[in-house]
Amino acid sequence: DIQMTQSPSSMSASLGDRVTITCRASQDIGNYLSWFQQKPGKSPRRMIYGATNLAAGVPSRFSGSRSGSDYSLTISSLESEDMAIYYCLQSIQYPFTFGSGTKLEIK
Amino acid sequence: EVQLVESGGGLVQPGRSLKLSCAASGFTFSDYNMAWVRQAPTKGLEWVASISYGGSNTHYGDSVKGRFTISRDNAKSTLYLQMDSLRSEDTATYYCARGTFAYWGQGTLVTVSS
C-alpha cells in the first residue's frame, strides 16, 4: 500500500502568513494527489486535484505543487476562514490513502 | 446542482448488519465512479470502498474487506454500502463521494455499540 506522510500534524500561523503543508508519497503517484479542507462538523471540500489544479470556487491564494515525491499545499496569505484540517489523498492505486491531516490554527 | 444524500446510519450492535444508501442527483450518476469514505470520531479520513461507473469493478480497504459490500443501482441513481459483522471500530461518519472526490455528501453516522 502507498503511505502518505503528512506534515506538520498541526500548526499555528498569523493572518497574512504564507503557509505550506506537505505530503510525501512512499511510491510514485505521479500527479494523482488531491488536497481537501475540512472544517468542524462539515464534509471535506476538495481544494486541489492533479497535484496542482485549483478546484472550482477555491480562492486563488491556495496552490499545489510537486517536487519529486513531495507534494505541497500553500496558502499565500492566510485568512481567518482558512482555519481547518487539511488532508492529502493519493488516488493512483487502490487502496486509496489519505494523509493523517494537518490542523491549521490562527494565532 | 450536484447533491449526494446519505441515509441509513444509526446505532447497531456488534456483529450485526447495516446498509447505507447515498441518493445522487444533479448529474448523470451512471457516468461516474463512486466511493465511500469514513471518519471515526475525532480521527482522520479513511477511504473505505470504490465502485466503477457500471458497477463491475469494486475495491475495498483492508479494514473492511470481506465484511462490507459496495454496490449501485444506476436506474435509481443510488449508491449502497452493505456492512456486515460490524465492529466497534467501524463507528464513524460515512460519506459518499463522486468520482475524483469533487463532491461529497453530508455524511451519516454509524455507531456500533452494545
pLDDT tens, residue by residue, B78-99: 999 999 999 999 999 999 999 9
Q: CA nearest A86: which of A107, A72, A69? A: A72
- Number of C-beta neighbours around residue A83 at 10 A: 16
Q: Residue A8, preceding bond cis, omega within 30 degrees? A: yes
CB contact under 8 A, B100 and A36: no
What cell was used for B65?
474487506
At B42 the pLDDT is 95
CB < 8 Å to B96, chain A:
none
What cell was used for B104?
461529497
Relative to beta strand B3-7, strand B10-12 is unpaired
**Residue A96's pLDDT band (cuts 50, 70, 90):** very high
- In B, minimum Cα distance to A95 occurs at B61
What cell was used for B99?
468520482
* Averaged pLDDT for residues B54-62: 97
At B13 the pLDDT is 98
